[in-house]
Amino acid sequence: MWALGIPLLLSGCDGPMSALQPAGPSAQASAWLWWGMFSAFTLVLLVVVLLWLHAMRRDPGQVTDREAQRVQNRWVVGGGLILPILSITVILAFGIPLGQRMLPLPLDEGEPVRINVTAHQWWWEVSYPDTGIVLKDELHIPAGVPVDLHLTSSDVVHSFWVPRLGGKMDMFPGRTNILRLEADYPGTFHGSCTEFCGKGHAHMQFTVQAHEPADYQAWLKQRQTDE
Amino acid sequence: MSEGTNKPAEELHEELERVWGNKPGWGAASAVNHTTVGLRFLITGLGFFLVGGLLAMLVRTQLALPEQDIIGPELYNQLFTMHGTVMMFLFAIPVLEGAAMYLIPKMIGTRDLVFPRLSALGYYCYLFGGLIILSSLVLQIAPDAGWFMYTPLSNAEFSPGKGPDFWLIGITFVEISAISAGVELVVSILRTRANGMALNKMPIFCWYILAMALMIIFGFPPLILGSILLELERAAGWVFFDVVGGGDPLLWQHLFWLFGHPEVYIIFLPAAGIVSTLIPVFAQRPLVGYRWIVLAIIVMGFISFGLWVHHMFTVGIPQLALAFFSIASMLVAIPTAIQIFAWLATLWTGKVVFRLPMLWILGFLIVFVAGGLTGVMLALVPFNWQVHDTHFVVAHMHYVLVGGMLFPLVAGFYYWLPHVSGRMPSDTLGRWGFWLFFGGFNMTFLLMHLTGLLGMPRRVYTYDAEMGWGWLNLLSSVGGFIMAIGVAVIILDITLHFRFGRKAKSNPWNADTLEWATPMPASAYNFASLPDIDTRHPMWEHPNLPETIEQGHHGLSEVMYERRDIFGSDAITGKVREVIHLPTNSWLPLQTALMIAVVCISLLVKVYPLALVASLGVLFFALRWGWHNGAHPVASPWRDDDPVDPPLHSRTFDGPGLWGMVVSLMANGTLYVSLLFGWFYLWTAAPQWSVPEEAPISLWPLLASGLALSAAVLIYRFAVTQLRNGSDAHLQKMLWIAASLGALHVGLLAWVLIAAPLKPSDLAHDAVLSVMLYYLLLHAGLATIFTVLQALRVRIGYVSLRLPYEPVVVQPFWIYTLGVFWMSFAAFVLLPMVWEVG
């Protein structure tokens, strides 16, 4: 039953924009963090609620002040101090290194691919530096290598998000934020604006097309000659 | 302070009722009594809750199926913006303030809040501000840029309509009520407790409310400043948030969340206070870990001001700051867990009576702990980047806010209903209401976590079927409607109980706190005589208190000169220090609030001359309000038989007015510090910050005006010191001199402002500088006017050696004015000069 149930449950987590169906290292890390925290915290919630229900039902008999003091120390120190401090430490121990790897830090060798994205109400202007290629609402990237997206906005605040590849980053007029993404394999990934930006917000979507590196180079050449 | 009278209880009751009661008929609009005003807050808040809920139902209808267009994006954007705005600003905060206003004086054993007219003013500001905001919905021009109003979307270019103006002006109007409730609750809790109720004997609820009130004082001013700046940008074109000209849209986000995060705790703390109050009563034993909880409340209050950036993890800020705010956000789990486990320990050691309020407390526990745990998840930056601004956050936030606020609030409603109506609620209908609400809530929002993880962003009016979010949204919508039915059942239950509920016996839940010693329903004066309190559980240790209080066996059982008298006590020990005579029913709060409403409406329709005239009207009524104080005939003129031990507060140096002034200045100071923050923030972080070629402010006239101000304050201080040392010789003359110097300062400062070639519409630098100068001008002007009035009052005889109260109240305002002047001089004039040279 269980063995059958889990894949069924997981398939319920699939979808074109599902953060739980990761296709890149950043999204993968977030998904692991989710499943880890989800399991641990479900347990915490259950234990706290069961303890609470038990505490309401039990008949303590006569409790002296001294016993009350002991109960207080046990619960307040154990549950109020040790439990949260321990949980926070564990979460940070996993979370900080994983978060570190999502940052656009310099690579050991070579430069990441750079693509500029400018958000407009309500479309995406995608340009490839030094090539003259400008696209609307679609990105093409090589799979298996890190890509740095230089994000800015021409009008209001927007936010760039491709859930299957990684986290989101806001886009401000006058500033440029860098988001590093990587696709594990070729495919089409769906993205959308996640900062409310007015009337057309719901339809401000785009796709990311990941190619094999060789195909990507071919695509670049092709587009450049077209321009 | 126990001194009995021999009057029969009936006669005493009639006398007190005559003095403390509201006027009949329309006269009730002049009521200032905390029981009346508190209930008005609660009922009005409930009305706004229903409006907010209706908006939510419309939102859920539109989202129930993919690709629906029942509601288009224009209307949808208004609906969700207004849902958030109404629930936060017009329901959650005011309702909790109302509950606190109703309960606090009764819990600390006094007859009213310490500034009763301020309660009434707060109510009217809330009501009128709320109606102004709602009117925009009726006119279909409601704000539609989201409840956090991010610029540039909310600026004049991208939101050319009136929507954001309604939001900014209406919310600022409503916030007057929050700040006044904050000031009033702080001073009441600290200065009017029953004789002997030391801080550590105070009911735990009062600690929560004290913390909430202080957090309002420090939490709301950044938003008020932000709203003023954004409205100035929209209406007058001044640059604060526009990148071109040296502004920065991020400044708005910082100011908004500097308010917005503490606000979550402003909502949570009073609700947790209800939990901490109810659990010991139903466990029939004292709260375990009272000191731990007090500590947790204080820690929570402090930490909550250091977390605002966790709403901004995706804006692209340095990673060190991310780590700091991430850890700080997780640390909040500690004081929260301390409270939860202290409650658990209380239940563990008590024999629990499982009544309806406890069912809601159980619901609170489950929902709130779940919300707290997803909160820890969200505090982890790499996870936050995925789910920020998706339906996961919508789910989390409703778990925290509905779990952390609404569940305890309903528990509290049921618990204190007998106090208001004298009747008991029904258990059966109540349980139906609970299960419908609880089931519907979890159906809506538990699933919504998954909707978010599957990638559905917030604030989209529709979505494609192929995304696979359809079934989740449909279930959420069905759950939402079940929850709405639950609300209807609860309201039906509460309404029916007023007619059919069985009569409650005295102290029906066998509670330990003093509010149950009042008559049920509560009388206008709460207590016929004011008892001494030497324990945290007065009703458990002295079960006959209701009778002895009613029979007038305790303090202040004598009505003198038709005055509303209460005790003023020491902030720490609670020992009685003075008799505070409170103002009676008054039209001034309504008149002042109506004038402010005229100001707001004329700003909305951009009839600025009218706004100016109405502002003068506000000033007139506010000054008239202050005029009717102290020894004025409508308050308490000097009489030879005035009580001496303890004396009347208006005959002392350290009455509640001084405390009120200092607490208000703390709020004001926070507003000023927010402005300083804005200045330094733009200076260091705005992408296109630029300064004019030449410093626009002429240094020497400004310095001269500063010297005039310093001289004014020195003379004022000298006059007050003389008064304290027992001399009122030359008092009037010194006040006139101080006022003249103040006027000179105002004149010079105004000249500096007019002469300066400031271009606030072109440069953020000049815009901030202008706001600063107007701020200084306003303060110096007010200080001067106050001092002129004081001098007049000395002449009439309302202020003198034996009536030294008022000059002492005005003094901190002068010192504050002086402080902000020189601080501004340093930060806005000197520092940039030094910077240039360096």
Residue where a domain stops, chosen among B459, B483, B500: B500
Task: Tell me what pLDDT residue B680 has.
Answer: 96
Q: Please answer yes or no on whether A194 and B457 come within 8 Å at the CB atom.
A: yes
- Asked if A18 and B365 come within 8 Å (Cβ–Cβ), the reply is no
Contact A58 B348 (CB under 8 A): yes
Report chain A residues whose CB lies below 8 A from the CB of B249: 157, 172-173
Helix, strand, coil % over all residues of chain A, rounded to 5? 45, 25, 30
Q: Across residues B154-181, what is the average pLDDT? A: 96
- What average pLDDT is seen over chain A? 93
Among residues B37, B4, B20, the alpha carbon closest in space to that of B589 is found at B37
Residue B529's pLDDT is: 96
Q: State yes or no: pLDDT of B836 exceeds 80.
A: no
pLDDT given at position B364 = 98
CATH superfamily of A113-226: Cupredoxins -  blue copper proteins (2.60.40.420)
Res. B739: pLDDT tops 90: yes
Q: 10 Å Cβ neighbour count for A131? A: 12
Our CA-based measurement puts residue A224 at a distance from the nearest CA of chain B, in whole angstroms, of 32
Is B625 part of any domain? Answer: no
Residues pairing with B566 in the sheet: B580
* Contact residues on chain B for A98, CB-CB shorter than 8 A: 382
Name the residue facing B153 among A83, A157, A163 (closest C-beta).
Answer: A157
Q: What percent of chain A has pLDDT over 90?
A: 85
> At B585, which amino acid appears?
N
| Minimum-distance CB partner of A34 among B349, B362, B453 | B453
Q: CA B40 to CA B42: how far, in whole Å? A: 5
Contact A56 B330 (CB under 8 A): no
The CA distance from B421 to B418, in Å, is 5
Contact B5/B552 with Cβ under 8 angstroms?
yes
Tell me: pLDDT of A10 over 90: no
Half-sphere exposure of B646 (CA within 13 A, CB side): 23
3-class SS at B180?
helix
- Return the pLDDT at A8: 57
CB contact under 8 A, B457 and A156: no
CB contacts of B387 in chain A (<8 Å) are: 19
CATH of the domain at B134: 1.20.210.10
A159 touches chain B (CB under 8 A): yes
Residue A45 contacts B where some CB pair is shorter than 8 Å: yes
Burial class (CB in 10 A: 0-12, 13-18, 19+), A106: exposed
Q: How far apart are the first and last CA of chain A?
A: 57
A56 closest CB neighbour out of B333, B347, B460: B347
| Contact between chains at A174 and B377 (C-beta distance less than 8 A) | no
Q: Which of these three, B466, B500, B534, is where a domain ends? A: B500
Q: With bands split at pLDDT 50, 70 and 90, how would you rate the model's confidence at B1? A: very low
> Which is it for the CA torsion B658, B115, B15, B540, positive or negative?
negative
CA gap B782, B746 in Å, rounded: 10
Q: Is residue B609 part of a domain?
A: no
Which of A30, A88, A163 faces B383 most closely, judged by CB atoms?
A30
User: Is residue B22 in a domain?
Assistant: no
Q: What are the domain boundaries of chain A?
A: 18-56+68-100, 113-226
Helix residue ranges, H only, B506-607? 538-541, 545-550, 588-604
Cross-chain CB nearest to B344 (options A51, A103, A193)? A51
Q: How far is CA A119 from the centre of its chain?
A: 20
**Chain B CB within 8 Å of residue A190 CB:** yes
Q: What is the pLDDT of residues B746-787, one digit of tens each?
A: 999 999 999 999 999 999 999 999 999 999 999 999 999 999
Q: Which residue of B has its CA nearest to A204?
A: B460
Contact A173/B249, CB-based, under 8 Å?
yes
Please name the residue of chain B whose CA is at the shortest distance from the CA of residue A82: B334
Amino acid at B17: E
pLDDT tens profile A64-94: 888 989 999 999 999 999 999 999 999 999 9
Integer Cα distance of B706 and B699 in angstroms: 11
Q: How many CB atoms lie within 10 A of CB B707?
A: 14
What is the rounded CA–CA span in Å between residue A126 and residue A110? 23
User: Which residues from B are below 8 Å from A91, CB to CB?
Assistant: 330, 376, 380
Q: Which residues of A touch B293 (CB under 8 A)?
A: none
Q: How far is B290 from chain A (nearest CA, A)?
A: 10
8 A C-beta contact, residue B352 and residue B330 = no
Residue B280: closest CA among chain A residues belongs to which residue? A56
pTM: 0.96
Q: What is the CATH number of the domain that holds B801?
A: 1.20.120.80
Q: In what order do the strands lie in the sheet with A169-171?
A: A138-142, A205-211, A187-193, A158-161, A169-171
Cα separations in angstroms, B833 against B759, B826, B829: 19, 10, 6
CB proximity A104 to B under 8 Å: no
- Binary contact (A80, B145; C-beta < 8 A): no
From the list A15, A67, A157, the residue facing B467 with the nearest CB is A15
Residue A3's pLDDT is what?
A: 56
Question: Can you read off the two tokens belonging to residue B717?
Answer: 């201080």
Looking at beta carbons, which residues of chain B come within 8 Å of A33?
Answer: 377, 380, 382-383
Q: Which of A33, A52, A194 sits opposite B347 (nearest CB)?
A: A52
Any domain includes B652 = no
Q: Where does residue B140 fall: left (phi above 0), alpha (psi -120 to 50 degrees), or beta otherwise?
A: left
Closest partner residue to B348 among A13, A34, A71, by Cβ?
A: A71
DSSP H or E stretch at residue B571 = none
Tokens linked to B648: 């009347």
In a domain, B722, yes or no: yes
B463 neighbourhood in chain A, CB within 8 Å: 202
Residue B314's CB is within 10 A of a number of other CB atoms, namely 24
The ipTM (two decimal places) reads 0.96
The beta strands (E) that lie in B257-318 are given as none
- Give me the pLDDT at residue B2, please: 45
Given a cut of 80, is residue B280 above it in pLDDT?
yes
Asked if A120 reaches chain B (Cβ–Cβ under 8 Å), the answer is no
Query: Which residues of chain B have a CB within 8 Å of the CB of A28?
Result: none
- From residue B174, how far is each of B121, B133, B148 by CA, in Å? 11, 10, 16
Is the distance from CB of B352 to CB of A109 less than 8 angstroms?
Answer: no
* Pairing outcome for strands A187-193 and A158-161: antiparallel
Q: Determine, for residues A199 and B74 on separate chains, whether the beta-carbon distance falls below 8 Å.
A: yes
Angle value at C-alpha A98, between A94 and A104, nearest 5 degrees: 160
End-to-end CA distance of chain B: 65
The CA-CA-CA angle for residues B680, B686, B689, to 5°, reads 90
Inter-chain CB proximity B285 and A155 less than 8 Å: no
* Interatomic CA distance for residues A190 and A183, integer angstroms: 12
Domain boundary among B471, B500, B529: B500
pLDDT of residue A1: 46
> Residue B39, exposed/middle/buried by CB under 10 A (0-12, 13-18, 19+)?
middle
Pull the structure tokens for residue B376.
């820890």
Is the model more confident about A179 or about A13?
A: A179
| Mean pLDDT across B499-523 | 94
Strand-pairing partners, residue B423, are B503
The candidate with the shortest Cα–Cα distance to A51, out of B343, B620, B837, is B343
Q: Is A198 on the interface with B (CB under 8 A)?
A: yes
Total count of domains within chain B: 2
Q: What is the pLDDT of residue A166?
A: 97
- Average pLDDT on B519-534 reads 95
For B248, B434, B454, the CA distances from B314, given in Å and listed in that order, are 16, 38, 19
Out of B292, B380, B456, whose CB is closest to A91?
A: B380
A156 and B153: CB-CB below 8 Å? yes
Average pLDDT score over chain B = 95
Nearest Cβ partner of A19 from B153, B350, B386? Answer: B386
Give me the percent of chain B exceeding a pLDDT of 90: 94
Cis peptide before A122 (omega within 30 of 0): yes
**B454 pLDDT exceeds 80?**
yes
Q: Mean pLDDT lowest for which of B2-11, B323-332, B685-694, B829-838?
A: B2-11
d(CA B468, CA B475) in angstroms, rounded, equals 13
Give the Cα separation of B94 and A140 in Å (integer): 51
Is residue A119 less than 8 Å (CB to CB) from chain B? no
Q: Least CA distance to B159: which residue of chain A?
A: A198
Q: What are B98's two structure tokens? A: 């109302």
Helix axes B764-796, B608-627, angle to 10 degrees: 40
Q: Please identify which residue in the block is written with the tokens 């969700």.
A: B80
Q: Are B808 and B720 in contact (CB under 8 A)?
A: yes
Q: What is the pLDDT of residue A220?
A: 95
**Residue B406 belongs to a domain:** yes
Each residue of A46-61: pLDDT tens digit?
999 999 999 999 988 8
Question: What is the domain range of residue B81?
Answer: 34-500
